[in-house]
Amino acid sequence: MITFIVSIILLIVAYFTYGKFIDKLFAPSDERSTPAYANNDGVDYVPMSKQKNAMIQLLNIAGTGPIFGPIMGALFGPVAFLWIVLGSIFAGAVHDYLTGMISIRNKGAHIPELAGRFLGKASRHIVNAFSLLLLILVGTVFVTTPASLIDILLDQRIAFSIILGTIFLYFFLSTVLPIDKIIGRIYPILGAILLIGTVAIGISLLFSDYKIPELNVTNMHPDNLPVIPILFFTITCGALSGFHATQSPIISRTTQKESQGRYIFYGMMIAEAIIAMIWAAAAMSLFDGQTLSGIIAEGTASAAVNEIAITLLGAIAGTIAVLGAIVLPITSGDTAFRAARSIIADYLNIGQKKIFNRLAIAIPLFAISYILTKIDFNILWRYFSWANQATAVIALWIATMYLFVKGKNYFVSMVPAIFMSYMVFVYILNAQIGFRLELNVSFIIGAILTVILTFLFFKKAQTNKTNKLKVDM
């Protein structure tokens, strides 16, 4: 258990050390009025307490990813622990913090608007399309996975279509009603269920007879899939996820003070990484790669979640843990659609005070998502994973531009931006859903494309700095 325990300790220590360093670098100021007060509209811009914002942020970002992703990532063996720990500390938490804080400084702007401001007007349109693709995929994936878990939990006694429809109805109400009417009220309760279930799994694992494997970098995947780049697209939430860049601006619009940012954005990403560690360790401890692969193939990762929970906690407590796993995707799917509505409204400059305007945007979104539920889940997950990490790359480059123009240490976001840009290129060049090139060829072309991208970024960065781009509105 040494690797597992040390990993948890490193994550906690990072919040008080590297997290504090990143916070000091950004230099939050409580003298500035946050969008929650400056733009208060009673719908999306509403001041809420630090604890409430933190819990909503955690539930927003911790969808299916920190459970399903680590379980599927466990197929690679303990090398998955490395990505969860290092990825979350130096990439994911930095990504979430800077995205949230830059949004606060820019009137609660979503990532397409930030891309247009910092990376050029053309990028706003590209990122807008990318963000909407990602959010619709997220919403669809996060309605399908909890529905499959509930179906297992109820032993198929209720029609799957009824379960799916009920979740869609909740998503719809959460999307169109003011944020403090449903999300702000029920999230603390749902958060308690999540935390109780996850902590129970972790404690039970520590005191069970199952052995948590120690760190090694040997590829243990039963199908011999390459660790690089696939691991970085299997474990996303829990390490680094572009979906978070679409969620942090939601909370940037409800944050009371800038000084709360480290706790809300960096801290909740660390909490998500701990959740990911627990589920990855449980999957590695209970199953060998071949068995786990078979369980996932038979019923997606939902079946593995149910098996782990019941085995470690028994029928009653295990059911509570499964409820926690159901809570996660539901509380990310609702805000995925809410973020999509906000992004479209901002892009088309449609005010959101009137319920008709909200319905006009929301109804087509849900119609598209319903159609997507008919597509095979594994195909959806692959497209979601790539779109997710591509969005993370965009957010990291936005953060790098912000820091560069302000004359601050931009390496903290540039290093993960370059690394993940390379992974995104390699993956799409090699993947079955992409260009299907040989892996070695993909590595070479990916490196060339990453160098070109970095060159173009610095060319634009110098122009922005020369023109004294205003980065704080």
Q: What integer pLDDT is reported at residue 142 of this predicted model?
A: 79
Burial (0-12, 13-18, 19+ Cβ within 10 Å), 353: exposed
Q: What integer pLDDT is reported at residue 79 of this predicted model?
A: 95
Contact 60, 250 (CB under 8 A): yes
Contact 96, 399 (CB under 8 A): no
User: Higher confidence at residue 334 or residue 300?
Assistant: 334
Three-state DSSP string of 41-105: CCCCCCCCCHHHHHHHHHHHHCCCHHHHHHHHHHHHCCHHHHHHHHHHHHHHHHHHHHHHHHHHH
The pair of structure tokens assigned to 44 is 């999306």
Looking up tokens 């299997």 gives: 234
Q: What integer pLDDT is reported at residue 63 of this predicted model?
A: 63
Q: What angle do CA 105, 348, 457 make, to 5 degrees?
A: 50
Contact 73, 83 (CB under 8 A): yes
Per-residue pLDDT tens digits for 124-136: 888 888 888 888 9
Q: Confidence band (pLDDT; 50, 70, 90) for 299?
A: low
Count of other CB atoms within 10 angstroms of residue 296: 21
User: How many whole angstroms separate alpha carbon 113 and alpha carbon 98?
Assistant: 15
Q: What integer pLDDT is reported at residue 318 of this predicted model?
A: 81
User: How many whole angstroms separate alpha carbon 159 and alpha carbon 232?
Assistant: 35
Looking up tokens 């990453």 gives: 450
Q: What integer pLDDT is reported at residue 64 of this predicted model?
A: 63
Looking up tokens 């693709």 gives: 133
**Nearest residue to 260 via CA among 100, 40, 406:** 100
Q: Confidence band (pLDDT; 50, 70, 90) for 300?
A: low
The pair of structure tokens assigned to 239 is 């390490």
Burial (0-12, 13-18, 19+ Cβ within 10 Å), 268: buried
Q: What integer pLDDT is reported at residue 270 of this predicted model?
A: 97
Q: Worst-scoring range by mean pLDDT, 19-23, 66-70, 183-187, 445-449?
A: 183-187
Q: How many residues does the chain have?
A: 473
Per-residue pLDDT tens digits for 29-85: 999 999 999 999 988 999 999 999 998 898 888 766 678 889 989 999 999 999 999
Q: Confidence band (pLDDT; 50, 70, 90) for 262?
A: very high
Q: Confidence band (pLDDT; 50, 70, 90) for 197?
A: confident
Question: Phi/psi class of residue 219: alpha, beta or left (left: φ > 0; alpha: ψ in -120 to 50)?
Answer: beta
Displacement of CA 394 from its chain's centroid (Å):
14
Please check the confidence at residue 174 and state whether its pLDDT lies above 80: yes
Contact 246, 394 (CB under 8 A): no
**Alpha-carbon separation of residue 265 from 271, 358, 362, 460 (angstroms):** 10, 27, 27, 28
Per-residue pLDDT tens digits for 220-252: 998 889 999 999 999 988 899 998 998 899 999
Looking up tokens 């909200």 gives: 358
**Alpha-carbon separation of residue 174 from 388, 441, 449 (angstroms):** 22, 45, 40
Three-state DSSP string of 337-350: HHHHHHHHHHHHCC
Contact 56, 183 (CB under 8 A): yes
Helices (H) and strands (E) in the chain, counts: 20, 0
**Which one-letter amino acid corresponds to residue 213?**
P
What percent of the chain is modeled with pLDDT above 70? 96
Q: What integer pLDDT is reported at residue 431 of this predicted model?
A: 92
Distant-in-sequence, close-in-space partners of 308: CB < 8 Å, separation ≥ 6: 71, 201, 279, 282, 283, 286
Q: What integer pLDDT is reported at residue 377 of this predicted model?
A: 67
Q: Worst-scoring range by mean pLDDT, 1-5, 167-171, 185-189, 252-256?
A: 185-189
Domain boundaries, the chain: 1-378
Q: What integer pLDDT is reported at residue 219 of this predicted model?
A: 87
Please check the confidence at residue 332 and state whether its pLDDT lies above 80: no
Average pLDDT (164-168) is: 92
How much is the mean pLDDT over the chain? 90
User: How many whole angstroms separate alpha carbon 266 and alpha carbon 272?
Assistant: 10
Torsion angle defined by CA atoms of residues 391, 397, 402 and 407, in that order, rounded to the nearest 10 degrees = 160
Q: Dump strand ranges (E) for 226-312.
A: none
Contact 113, 346 (CB under 8 A): yes
Q: Worst-scoring range by mean pLDDT, 15-24, 77-86, 146-155, 407-416?
A: 146-155
**Among positive and negative, which fits the CA dihedral 190, 142, 336, 385?**
positive
Burial (0-12, 13-18, 19+ Cβ within 10 Å), 22: buried
Omega of the bond leading into 213 within 30 degrees of 0 (cis):
no
For the entire predicted model, the pTM comes to 0.90
Top CATH class of 1-378 equals: mainly alpha
Distant-in-sequence, close-in-space partners of 211: CB < 8 Å, separation ≥ 6: 285
